[in-house]
Amino acid sequence: MTMTGTAEVLRPGDRGYDGARQVWNAMFDRRPAMIVRCRTVRDVVAAVRTARERDLEVSVRCGGHSAAGFGVTDGGLMIDLTPLGLASVDPARRRAYVQGGALLGALDDAAQRHGLATTAGNVSHTGVGGLTLGGGMGWLARRFGLACDNVVSYEVVTADGEILRVNAEEHPELFWGLRGGGGNFGIVTEFEFALHDTGTEALVVESTFTGAARHAAMRRWRDEHLAAPRQATFTASAGPGTLTLGYVWTGPDTGYRPTFGAGGVQTRRPMSYLQLQRREDTTGRHALRRYGRSHYLKSMPDAALDAFIAAGEHCGAGLQGYGGAIADVPQDATAFGHRDTMFEFGAGSSWTDPADDDAGRDRARAAAALLEPFSGGVYVNALGEEGSAGVRRAYPPAKLARLTALKDRYDPHNVFHLNQNIKPTGTAS
């Protein structure tokens, strides 16, 4: 083990190397030539310069949850941001200052000490970095917008090793691109988030149906989603023979009582917001082999509801409602692709034995194929290894052109390409 600056540098054979190269999806067992564990923004600058001088492929790791394992490179230089994991809060200004390698749990914990929060994802061990740069969907998004809509400024290390402060006034076009464009334009070492007075309460309501009753219940659920208050985010999950319909509520109970659950087996679980934010930590745990497929659905005709129920016969299938403050932001205001989404659909499978890889992938593909006729795009952070075809589904053509112009300006040599890649002009396929 050697040290440069304040960073710890790990090479194959060093103690800690094998732990540091592991990412969430056990399908990816890659071996970087160097892992640079950065503690300061200067360490990040030095790591980018070292990679460029030695012509090493760069990967950037925050929470390590990329479905395609983009946080770890085979043979290149892995910039491990996890030592930059702190979140601090200024309650008077309602701001959170979050380092580029922090996990969502650090942000939520720091903010909730003051009864504050901002939109973050549903699993606390996901990285703030990757989640926010791709958009960032969570239980507060219908009230306060996506995570990226709540970023007031970024500190960014560019491919040239420059440190930029990026906000609505400074580098405004880059500010646009960082809100949904992923890790294409630089390494974010600090996010400044706006926080909201959310209180500390949450509620999860679910009703489970079997057999023929599933279809009628799901139609009621879809219709009630359209009129739901913004505190409610509608959810559905389908499995073999069963359908669970529900919603997650954040903030104090206002007496909202939708009727879609009638006839099902109902549960109503009050909990703290922090418990809600950790509720899926175990199902979303590390060290399993994983494969998922996803669609953005901009409408949900009856045939799509029936297709969703059928998808549950192949593997776990889920829906999460959009709308509200997500759709209030004008479509062109940020790089995020599809604000007019009604529901996000996801199909996912997990297993442990590499011999089951093909079967595991096939289950998720078969489920997602049933919803394909209704697909209006995809969330960039839900993509795996679909390559350029996936990126074209994530961004409408005009946005992709604007993102490409930004890439030409800030990373023309595509130093940051282990991501859902916006290719610079001349290299697009």
Ligand X SMILES: Cc1cc2nc3c(=O)[nH]c(=O)nc-3n(C[C@H](O)[C@H](O)[C@H](O)COP(=O)(O)OP(=O)(O)OC[C@H]3O[C@@H](n4cnc5c(N)ncnc54)[C@H](O)[C@@H]3O)c2cc1C
Interface residues toward ligand X, by CB under 6 A = 24, 60-67, 70-71, 81, 100, 121-123, 126-127, 129-131, 133-138, 182-183, 187-188, 284, 381, 418-419
What 3-state DSSP class applies to 38?
coil
Contact 33, 75 (CB under 8 A): yes
Q: Would you say 66 or 200 has its CB closer to ligand X?
A: 66
Exposed, middle or buried, 64 (CB in 10 Å: 0-12/13-18/19+)?
buried
Q: Would you say 103 or 217 has its CB closer to ligand X?
A: 103
Contacts of 396 (CB under 8 A, 6+ apart): 337, 338, 377
Give φ, ψ of 199 to 5 degrees.
70, -170
Q: Would you say 26 or 194 has its CB closer to ligand X?
A: 26
If you write DSSP's letter for every residue of 325-376 in order, what string do you get? Answer: HHHHS-TTSSS-S-TT-SEEEEEEEEES-GGGHHHHHHHHHHHHHHHGGGB-
Instruction: With both helix axes pointing from N to C terminus, report the angle between 357-371 and 302-311 in degrees, rounded to the nearest 10.
Output: 170
Cβ at position 380, least distance to ligand X in Å: 9
Q: Would you say 188 or 238 has its CB closer to ligand X?
A: 188
Exposed, middle or buried, 164 (CB in 10 Å: 0-12/13-18/19+)?
middle
The sign of the dihedral angle between the CA atoms of 37, 22, 347, 358 is positive
Q: Round to whole Å and give the CA distance between 90 and 410.
A: 31
Contact 240, 312 (CB under 8 A): yes
Q: Round to whole Å and give the CA distance between 413 and 274.
A: 42
Cβ at position 223, least distance to ligand X in Å: 25
Contact 245, 261 (CB under 8 A): yes
Query: How many other CB atoms are there within 10 angstroms of residue 358's CB atom?
Result: 10
Contact 56, 417 (CB under 8 A): no
Q: Would you say 182 or 264 has its CB closer to ligand X?
A: 182
Cβ at position 306, least distance to ligand X in Å: 26
Cβ at position 201, least distance to ligand X in Å: 20
Cβ at position 83, least distance to ligand X in Å: 12
Q: Would you say 78 or 304 has its CB closer to ligand X?
A: 78
Q: Would you say 70 or 247 has its CB closer to ligand X?
A: 70
Cβ at position 230, least distance to ligand X in Å: 17
Cβ at position 263, least distance to ligand X in Å: 29
What are the structure tokens assigned to 81, written together? 């941001």
List the one residue out of 183, 67, 65, 78 whose CA is nearest residue 124: 65
Q: Would you say 23 or 217 has its CB closer to ligand X?
A: 23
Cβ at position 295, least distance to ligand X in Å: 15
Q: Round to whole Å and give the CA distance between 414 and 338.
A: 25
Q: Would you say 184 or 208 has its CB closer to ligand X?
A: 184
Cβ at position 329, least distance to ligand X in Å: 15
Q: Would you say 181 or 261 has its CB closer to ligand X?
A: 181
Q: Round to whole Å and give the CA distance between 112 and 26.
A: 32
Cβ at position 251, least distance to ligand X in Å: 18
- Looking at residue 58, the DSSP 8-state letter turns out to be E
Round the CA-based radius of gyration of the chain to a whole number and report it.
Answer: 21
Cβ at position 347, least distance to ligand X in Å: 14
Q: Would you say 41 or 188 has its CB closer to ligand X?
A: 188
